[in-house]
Amino acid sequence: MILGLDISTSIIGYTILDKDNKIIECDCIRLEKFKDFFVKAKNVKNKLVSIAKQHDISSVYIEESLQAFKPGFSSASTIQSLSKFNGVVSWLCSEIFDLTPEYISAGTARKFCGIKVPKGEKAKIFVFNFILDTIPEFNVEYTAKGNPVPGSFDRADSYVIAKAGNVLCQMNKK
């Protein structure tokens, strides 16, 4: 089984797929209420240990963290915090699953999944809607105001990472 992760310091989306891209589990780890970096890491560790006990994970794929500063988007401080947390979660995956995680950029993952975001569209929203429209087993809960609950976009992104990882696994077997 493939584990795909979309890591941030507030919510981590994760998806477990079987070899046929069937969703085994697709959820998120909510970390917003924790302010301490190490408390966040311990919560992630506990969830990853639980996943390891329940599923035979053969590969772990992680969305590459931002590599460059983009004016108007994330600050240098945010990029540094995200990279640091990405490294800790990557190490946890290596230890818990006894696997070396592989990294996929969001763009490459979308390409492997046949998702082409039109110019001017917000990628997160476009990917979310694409997954909703094409993956019937991808379920979403909504708030009273009709918005997807927090973590829904992260779950969709983790699905794309997991599916792209599955494509890479199949390509490497040939």
pLDDT of residue 22: 93
Model confidence band, residue 65 (pLDDT cutoffs 50, 70, 90) = confident
Q: Three-state DSSP class for 5?
A: strand
Model confidence band, residue 153 (pLDDT cutoffs 50, 70, 90) = very high
Indicate the number of domains in the chain.
1
Q: What is the mean pLDDT of residues 65-89?
A: 70
Q: Which domain holds residue 82?
A: 2-173
Q: What is the mean pLDDT of residues 29-52?
A: 95
CB 29 within 8 A of CB 105: no
Could you give phi then psi for residue 74, rounded to 5 degrees?
-85, 140
Residue 1 has pLDDT above 50, yes or no: yes
Model confidence band, residue 69 (pLDDT cutoffs 50, 70, 90) = very low
Q: The tokens 């924790």 sit on which residue?
A: 34
Give the residue from 85, 59, 68, 29 showing the smallest Cα distance to 164: 59
Residue 68 has pLDDT above 70, yes or no: no
Residues 7 and 40: their CA atoms lie apart, in Å, by 12
Could you give phi then psi for residue 18, rounded to 5 degrees?
-85, 180
CATH of the domain at 18: 3.30.420.10
pLDDT of residue 83: 83
Residues 119 and 135: their CA atoms lie apart, in Å, by 23
